[in-house]
Amino acid sequence: MAATGTLLVAGLSLAPAAHAVDPGASVIINEVYGGGGNSGAPYTNDFIELVNTGSAPVDLSGWSVQYSSAGGTTWSGKTALTGTIAAGARYLVGEAGGTTGAALPTPDVTGTIAMSSTAGKLALVNSTTTLSCGATCSTAAGVVDFVGFGGANDAAGGTPTPATSNSTSAQRKNNPVVNTGNNGADFTVAAPTPKASNGSAPTGPDCTAVPTPQECVPGTTTIQDVQGDGFISPLKGQSVNKVAGVVTAVRTGRSAGYWIQEAQPDVTRPSASSGVFVFSSKGGVSVGDAVLVSGSVTDYYPLSSGETVSTTSSLSTTEITPTTVTVVSKGNALPEPLQLTPSTVPDTYAPQVAGGDVEAISPVDPAHSALEFWEAHEGMRVEVDDARVVGPGKQQYGEIYVTTKPAQNATYRGGTYVDSYNLPSGRLLVTPVNGVVPAANVGDVLTGATTGPVDWSTFGGYAIAATATGAWQDNHLTGNLATPQAADQLAVATYNVENLAPGDSDAKYQRLGAGVVTNLASPDVVSLEEIQDNSGATDDGTVAADQTLTKLTAAISAAGGPAYQWAEIDPVNDQDGGQPGGNIRVAFLYNPNRVTFVQRPGGDSTTAVGVQEDSDGTAALTVSPGRVDPSNQAWEDSRKPLAGEFVFQGRKVIVVANHFNSKGGDQNADGRYQPPTRSSEQQRTAQATAVNAFVKQVLAVDPRANVVLAGDFNDYQFSPAARTLTDDGATLTDLINTLPANERYTYNYNGVSQVLDHIFTSTVLSAPGAVEYDVIHVNSEFADQASDHDPQVVRLRPVAHVDPVSSGTLQLSPPRVQPGKQVLMHLRGFDPLTLQRIRLDGIRALGTVTTDAGGNALVKVTIPADTTLGDHTLSVKAPDHTVATAALDVH
């Protein structure tokens, strides 16, 4: 309200005229609920609750509450208010509804507004005149208070509240009610609390009274009835009455609520869990309380942006959204936790079911698969002792991963690796209810008991919502070191530096620099991924990255490394995916004291690199650096590969830096669809096809070409993309497969050690014992990381270019001629009907000749008049690069 004071008449405060939402207003909107009567709704009707935060009553006569849809500009819903709201009191406006849920407490006034359950706009107006301010009513005259919820196009302070649902309302933060004039800051989303203090504790009768009040007698529905024998509750969308259980854990903050578990479940129902989550921010219960919960049953799906319940691949969690909670007694013993030994959880991770949706399974078989086991124990207390850490502690997220099966797919450093699309069933997420995890590394141990109810997370699947976490045993994991390359070895590395930008901390640059020098032993060539432009994630049109690369190379030099130079091509703005505005790209670092980078002009963001034959018969790039097939649709919204031509000790090496598209958009590997759809594989396989075609262009010119592909390929060693790229090993060798199975990983995602980064080499470089290859684990296994990827390096000895000798023979007549004269070339024993290219000294083209059906040919060629006197060579070269030569004396 614009007025700063109030006018008292006979002890009653007259509502002053308001010209904009005023944080100092006495009467404000306290709570908004639009899911009334819908499936899973705790109440049959929508409602709006007002609260008087002032010290005097306020007459609401002549006022109204008005409603508009989230994106609307007209205000068609209106309910007139009557009567007085006392100081500190709540005023309930009941609106339209349905059939599901309990009745509201008696409203102060009722209307017929049918509000959205997820998003909309509400205005408290000091008149009954319909608003005509469109989508700017939060600042309009006459509007006392305003709430935009969900994706509303108008809100007090410019920020709407989070989206609500059938089972949640938008309500002001409690203790005391907060009103800063900003909906996003002032409101939270929680179970509806009409005519009750936001976040208020459940209240009820004295259950110690004799005779026992009826409210303290358990209903006939048990937690096992609520959970049912499958993934989906048979009571979904229904109301239940006085479900009994003991509170085993309480979680505050995001997804607030508590778990209850039956003290004496029916042991003849092994498929039906005896624990369940009660979704409520009210609090007022403690661990050990025996409670009776009445409310609606839901199967809750966590949704990512753009998902709906019908499209999400998340698994659901059965919950009760309470309307009434009665505490019967306190200090009760908790049900004993199920001990998780190495044999408790089945070895098979996911069941196979027709149609692919595991939630269709009923009853689940807890002895058949891990997903079924965890569903049969959802919400129940479990315990794992002396658990080894397989995914580092992420203190910013309050999560850490352990294994219940220490021997299952154990890496040589303590993690759990994946060698197929079947996830290791022993991996288990731990999310303490207090949000605190240690900064533990892979291979450390949580000694003693880690205990809590079973929960589910989009990131990592089934979890222990731990009420007790084992003590951290630090096993002092350290990064491994590469062997320095020998003088005659070329060292090529790849390193994804995770959105590196000039604004990143000096500490990150220092750690990356030390990693290149100390852990990678200063490779000769480094393929870098995720180099951002000079303005980082600011989307201002900047595409140059010279500041990023200057800062990185300076950090490497400061760490004692070589003075690297770089080669890269700036992308087209906002066309290569990654963090918006960052323009990530791949780039080369190279040590000019060890290797020569062959600069060939003309490469840019849209020009495709080609391959041609060099004067020495080797493959040469048409531009260097150059992008591989950049206009191919396979690279849409993705990084384009960068090819570079290098010379090491006189031998040419073609290196391609890569960063294939991510796994974004794939169905959740821990979710309800098994096997999950990996839609992103299609683009990576198309990208692999494009790069494979480029490699074959190189090998068509020189079958013995030294080719190295390095980078973040965002896929496994057994993936379709890897098989396509290598032709199942016929064209390229994936060096990760030369390591023992327990060393094959470059990344740790959700507690699973896996391969995303690769180095591939042409087969001429890949003979057993010819290469030395290391993955350098300095990031993925550690709680403190410079990047989320581990780098890797290969040490190899490039082969010299030697043309194979033809089976045919070449004779010259005469073998001694003067410049400008002709010589007759006689070809015998060559492949029939084959085009042969004629060259002088292997460089100067003199023409072509095609052999006859017998593989023979006669042809006269003129020796150029400017040929120097002395010994020369005439040669013929077939398409398969076989060569025959004859000596020529020019006199």
> Is the predicted pLDDT of residue 24 greater than 80, yes or no?
no
Stretch 878-884: mean pLDDT, rounded? 86
Q: How crowded is residue 891: how many other Cβ atoms within 10 Å of its Cβ? A: 8
Tell me the percentage of the chain whose pLDDT exceeds 70.
96
Q: Minimum mean pLDDT among 13-27, 633-647, 693-707: which range?
A: 13-27
Residues in Cβ contact with 879 at an 8 Å cutoff, skipping those fewer than 6 apart? 834, 835
Q: What are phi and psi of 742, to 5 degrees?
A: -80, 5
Tokens of 20: 């904009």
DSSP label at 165?
B
Among 361, 443, 480, 354, which Cα is nearest to 751's?
Answer: 443
Residue type, 460: G
Identify whether the C-beta of residue 452 lies closer than 8 Å to the C-beta of residue 249: yes
Cα–Cα distance between 705 and 652 in angstroms, integer? 8
Using alpha carbons, list the distances in angstroms from residue 718 to 307, 745, 768: 29, 12, 20
Strand locations in 809-856 (E) = 809-813, 816-817, 822-828, 835-840, 844-850
Q: Is 673 helix (H, G, I), strand (E, B) or coil?
A: strand
The helix/strand/coil state of 41 is: coil
CB 62 within 8 A of CB 72: no
DSSP state of 155: -
pLDDT at 201: 36
For residue range 753-774, what is the model confidence (pLDDT) as tens digits?
Answer: 999 999 999 999 988 778 999 9
**CA angle at 289 for the pair 284 and 290, rounded to the nearest 5°:** 120
- Residue 453 preceded by cis peptide, ω within 30: no
Residues linked to residue 279 through DSSP beta bridges, in sequence order: 257
pLDDT for 6 beyond 50? no
pLDDT in tens, 679-710: 999 999 999 999 999 999 999 999 989 999 99
Res 801: pLDDT: 77
Over the range 91-100, which residues count as b (16 or more CB within 10 Å of their CB) and which as e?
Answer: bbbbbbbbeb
Task: Note the pLDDT tens digit of each residue in 808-832.
Answer: 999 999 999 999 999 999 999 999 9
pLDDT at position 199 is 46
Query: Residue 365's pLDDT is what?
Result: 98
Q: Select the more confidently predicted residue: 553 or 18.
A: 553
Candidates 650, 698, 658; CA nearest to 798 is 650
Residue 105: per-residue pLDDT: 86
Count of Cβ atoms closer than 10 Å to residue 880 Cβ = 12
Backbone angles phi, psi at 100, to 5 degrees: -90, 140
Please give the sequence-ordered ranges of beta strands (E in DSSP) within 40-173, or none if there are none. Answer: 45-52, 58-59, 64-69, 77-80, 84-85, 90-97, 109-110, 120-125, 143-149, 169-172
What is the average per-residue pLDDT within 108-113?
95
Tell me the per-residue pLDDT of 571-581, one tens digit each, with 9 for 90 and over. 999 999 999 99
SS3 196: coil
Q: Which pLDDT band holds residue 198 (cuts at 50, 70, 90)? A: low
- Reply yes or no: is the peptide bond before residue 16 cis, omega within 30 of 0: no
Report CA 137 to chain centroid distance, whole Å: 38
730 in helix, strand or coil? coil
With beta carbons less than 8 A apart as the criterion, state whether 416 and 403 touch: yes
Q: How far is CA 542 from CA 205, 553, 569, 581, in A?
A: 66, 21, 13, 8
Q: What is the pLDDT of residues 288-346, one digit of tens each?
A: 999 999 999 999 999 888 889 999 999 999 999 998 899 999 889 999 999 999 999 99
Report the alpha-carbon angle 52-150-458, nearest 5.
120
Surface-to-core class of residue 133, CB atoms within 10 Å of its CB (0-12 exposed, 13-18 middle, 19+ buried):
middle
Residue 12 has pLDDT above 60, yes or no: no
Burial of 810-830, coded b for 16+ CB within 10 Å and e otherwise, reads bebeeeebeeeeebebebeeb
Which residue's entry shows tokens 């109301």?
239
The mean predicted confidence, pLDDT, of the chain is: 93
Across the range 797-813, mean pLDDT stands at 86
CA distance readout (Å), 314 to 311, 357, 433, 670, 731: 9, 11, 21, 8, 39
What's the rounded Cα separation, in Å, for the pair 359 and 618? 58
Mean pLDDT, residues 785-805 taken together: 91
Stretch 712-719: mean pLDDT: 98
Q: How confident is the model at residue 646 (pLDDT cuts 50, 70, 90)?
A: very high
Q: Give me the pLDDT at residue 197, please.
A: 54
Q: How far apart are CA 578 and CA 586, in angstroms?
A: 12
Banded pLDDT at 2 (limits 50, 70, 90): very low
For residue 185, give the nearest of 200, 198, 170 by alpha carbon: 170
pLDDT score for 566: 98
Tell me what percent of the residues of the chain surpass a pLDDT of 90.
83
- Identify the bridge partners of residue 494 per DSSP, sorted by sequence position: 527, 792
Under 8 Å between Cβ of 58 and 38? no
3-state secondary structure of 355: coil
- The predicted structure's pLDDT at residue 175: 59
pLDDT-derived band at 9 (thresholds 50, 70, 90) equals: very low
Band of residue 282 on the pLDDT scale cut at 50, 70, 90: confident
The pLDDT of residue 440 is above 70: yes
Q: pLDDT tens for residues 341-373?
A: 999 999 999 999 999 999 999 999 999 999 999
- d(CA 86, CA 57) in angstroms, rounded, equals 4
CA separation for the pair 589, 682 (Å, rounded): 30
Residue 567 vs residue 105, higher pLDDT: 567
479 Cβ neighbours under 8 A, 6+ residues apart: 515, 519, 776, 777, 778, 782
Distance CA(140)–CA(148), nearest Å, equals: 14
Mean pLDDT of 405-424: 97
According to the model, what pLDDT value does residue 100 have? Answer: 84
Angle at 180 between CA 178 and CA 185, to 5 degrees: 75
Q: Which of 349, 203, 336 is nearest to 275 (CA)?
A: 336
Stated as kind and residue range, the H or E segment containing 82 is: none
**Beta partners for 471?**
447
Position 204 scores a pLDDT of 56
Q: 363-381 b/e with 16+ CB inside 10 Å = b?
A: ebebeebbbbbbbbbbbbb
